Structure 1
Amino acid sequence: MDTGREELCFEFMALGNTLRRYYDNSSGINYVDKYTGSNQWILAYLFKNQGHDVFQKDIEEAFLVRPSTVSKAIKLMEKKELIKRESVEYDARLKKLVLTPKAHELSEFIKDDVCEIYHKLTDGLTEKQIKEFSEILKIIRKNFD
């Protein structure tokens, strides 16, 4: 096996584990104990897209996650009263995802945690390196399609 490719694979696995551990132990999560790492990203996405109707399908596409996984996360977030589903006027079949007042109380924790993650992921990298790495990641991800 090619040593460089093998090392790259190990680095990706290690990074994945590191990120998962970090998300699950980030400060806001420990402080409020109301959301998980994956909930954090869904909530951040909903905050970023306030003013637009966001549906389960949008979450699936944004994070490349299976429908069953997103459905489970949404149900748990509804149970925690972080989001609710509301009908839209233009299609009775669709239910948009709406942030609850409880989620809004957590907005600063979520924003701080997400910003910290962004900084940790990009600290020490130039803008050029960030763009190049982003392009490389897109190619790697496409290899799995």
Structure 2
Amino acid sequence: MKKDGAVGMQINCVSNLIRRSIDLRIAGMPGEKLSRMDSWIIHYMLDHQQEDVFQKDVEKALAMTRSNVSKAVDQMVSKGLIMRSPVDYDARLKKLTLTPKVLEIHRQIEGEIAEFEKLLVEGFTTRELEQFKDYLERVAHNINDNAKRQQDERKRRDF
């Protein structure tokens, strides 16, 4: 990867490398075959076990579209990894709940994630990591702000 390349291109290249690496790690795990999306959703739900988790929470946390998350959740339900359950306070809502099957897989996933995180940050100082996270947060903020401005402009033009 060239240092003088466009930032967006470099981020895309790193993203592709991360995806491929995760896919290889997941494919090598024994037992139920999980997709990369399955792993991220499970990881998110495990981090938020004390809360009711809904599909829109997953969409927001993973910055994914409703259709992609809906498809992934449907597949995970059919694999017996998660369940959709009604909540008492709103009949329209279905919370997502992990099944016992997932909890068995959890240790393997956590081990793979921990190893991969070590690989990602190898050679960085604590200060460099904090700066890097700040930079990524700023990039995400810039993208989100731009998307909001574009939506607002479209709304004004459509009226």
TM-score under structure 2 length normalisation: 0.82
C-alpha contact (below 8 Å) 1:84/1:98 kept by paired residues: yes
Query: 2:71 & 2:34 partners in 1: Cα distance?
Result: 14
More displaced 10-residue stretch of structure 1: 96-105 or 119-128: 119-128
| Cα shift at 1:27 | 5.0
Judged with a 3 Å threshold, the aligned counterparts in structure 2 of structure 1 residues 108 and 28 are, in CA distance, closer, same or farther, namely farther
C-alpha contact (below 8 Å) 2:38/2:72 kept by paired residues: yes
Question: Pairwise CA RMSD of aligned residues?
Answer: 1.9
User: Does residue 1:89 correspond to 2:58, yes or no?
Assistant: no
| Cα shift at 1:38 | 1.4
Query: 2:4 & 2:56 partners in 1: Cα distance?
Result: 34
Query: 1:47 & 1:61 partners in 2: Cα distance?
Result: 16
| Cα shift at 1:32 | 2.3
| Cα shift at 1:52 | 1.1
For 1:68, give the aligned amino acid.
Answer: S
Q: Percent identity?
A: 34
For 1:59, give the aligned amino acid.
Answer: V
Matches within 5 A, 1:1-80: 6-27=5-26, 30-80=29-79
C-alpha contact (below 8 Å) 1:29/1:36 kept by paired residues: no
| Cα shift at 1:12 | 1.9
Query: 2:89 & 2:6 partners in 1: Cα distance?
Result: 51
Query: 2:117 & 2:95 partners in 1: Cα distance?
Result: 27
More displaced 10-residue stretch of structure 1: 133-142 or 54-63: 133-142
For 1:116, give the aligned amino acid.
Answer: E
C-alpha contact (below 8 Å) 1:34/1:80 kept by paired residues: no
Segments of structure 1 that go 5 or more residues without pairing to the other structure are none
Q: Secondary structure at the match of 1:32?
A: coil
The aligned residue for residue 155 of structure 2 is none
CA-to-aligned-CA distance 1:20-64 (integer Å, 9 cap, x gap): 101111157532242111110110111111121111111111111
Q: Which has the larger radius of gyration?
A: 2
Instruction: Work out which structure has the larger RCO, using CA pairs closer than 8 Å and 6 or more positions apart in sequence.
Output: 1
Query: 2:25 & 2:53 partners in 1: Cα distance?
Result: 26
